[in-house]
Structure 1
Amino acid sequence: MLKGRKPTSPGVRQVIKVKNSELSKKRPTKSLVVSHFRRHGRSKASGRITTRHKGGGHKKLYRMIDFKRDKLDVPAKVAALEYDPYRNAFICLLNYRDGEKRYIIAPHDLKVGDEIISGENVEIKVGNRLPLKNIPVGLPVHDVELYPGSGGMIVRSAGSSAQALAIEAGYAQLKMPSGEVRLIKDNCFATVGQVSNPEFSSQVIGKAGRSRWLGRRPHVRGSAMNPVDHPHGGGEGRAPIGLRKGPKTPWGKQARGVKTRRRRKQTNRLILQRRK
Structure 2
Amino acid sequence: MALNRLFTGLSISSTVLGRRTIYTGVVNFASKPALVKPKPGFGKAYRRIVHFPEEYTVKPLEVTNLAGRDPETGRVVAKGIGGGIKHKYHWVAWIRDGPTEGPPQEEKVIQIIEDGCRTANVALVAVGDKLKYILATENMKAGDILKTSRHLPRIPVRANEGDAYVLGALPTGTFVHCVEKEPGKGGLYIHAAGTYGTILRKQDDRIVVQMPSKRLFSFDQHCMAVVGRLSNIEHGSTPIGSPQRNRWLGNRPRSGLWHRKDGRHGRKIKPPKPVKEIYHPKKAKPVAIQLSMKP
Q: What is the TM-score normalised by the length of structure 2?
A: 0.64
Q: Partner letter of residue 234 of structure 2?
A: E
The higher relative CO (CA closer than 8 Å, separation ≥ 6) is in 1
> Rg larger in 1 or in 2?
2
Match of 2:110 among 63, 73, 79: 79
1:226 offset after TM fit, Å? 10
Structure 1 partner of 2:221: 186
Kindly indicate whether residue 180 of structure 2 is the aligned counterpart of residue 151 of structure 1: no
Match of 2:69 among 34, 42, 67: 42
The separation in 1 between residues aligned to 2:198 and 2:240, in whole angstroms, is 31
Distance 1:221-1:175 versus aligned 2 partners, 3 A rule: farther
- What is the identity, as a one-letter code, of the residue corresponding to 1:104? I
* 1:223 CA displacement: 4.1
Q: Write out aligned runs for 1:121-200 (5 A).
A: 121=151, 124-200=159-235
Structure 1 unaligned residues grouped into runs of 5+? 1-29, 238-276
Q: Aligned partners of 1:169 and 1:46: how far apart in 2? A: 51
TM-score by length of 1: 0.68
Partners of 2:89 and 2:237 in 1: CA distance: 25
Counterpart CA distance in 2 for 1:147 and 1:224 is 50
In structure 2, what is the equivalent of residue 234 of structure 1?
Answer: 266
Alpha-carbon separation, structure 2, partners of 1:146 and 1:221: 43
Q: How far apart, CA to CA, are the structure 2 residues paired with 1:193 and 1:222?
A: 46
Matches within 5 A, 1:34-73: 34-70=61-97, 72=99, 73=104
Residues 146-197 of structure 1 show CA distances to partners (whole Å, capped at 9, x for unaligned) of 1212211111111100011111232111101111011111111000000011
* CA 35–164 in structure 1, closer or farther in 2 if over 3 Å, else same: same
Q: 1:244-276 CA distances to partner (integer Å, 9 max, x unpaired)?
A: xxxxxxxxxxxxxxxxxxxxxxxxxxxxxxxxx
- Matched residues, number: 204
Which of 135, 150, 158 lines up with 1:120 in the alignment?
Answer: 150
Report the 3-state secondary structure (helix = DSSP H, G, I; strand = E; otherwise coil) of the residue aligned with 1:163: strand
The answer to whether the 8 Å contact 1:79/1:94 transfers is yes
Q: Which runs of 4+ in 1 moved over 6 A?
A: none
5+ long unaligned stretches in structure 2? 1-56, 152-156, 270-295
State percent identity of aligned pairs.
29
Q: After alignment, is 70-79 or 48-57 more displaced?
A: 70-79
Is 2:261–2:268's contact at 8 Å kept on the other side of the alignment? Answer: no
Q: Aligned to 1:214, which of 249, 253, 258?
A: 249
Partner of 1:75: helix, strand, or coil? strand
Closer, same or farther in 2 for the Cα pair 1:123/1:116, shift >3 Å? Answer: farther
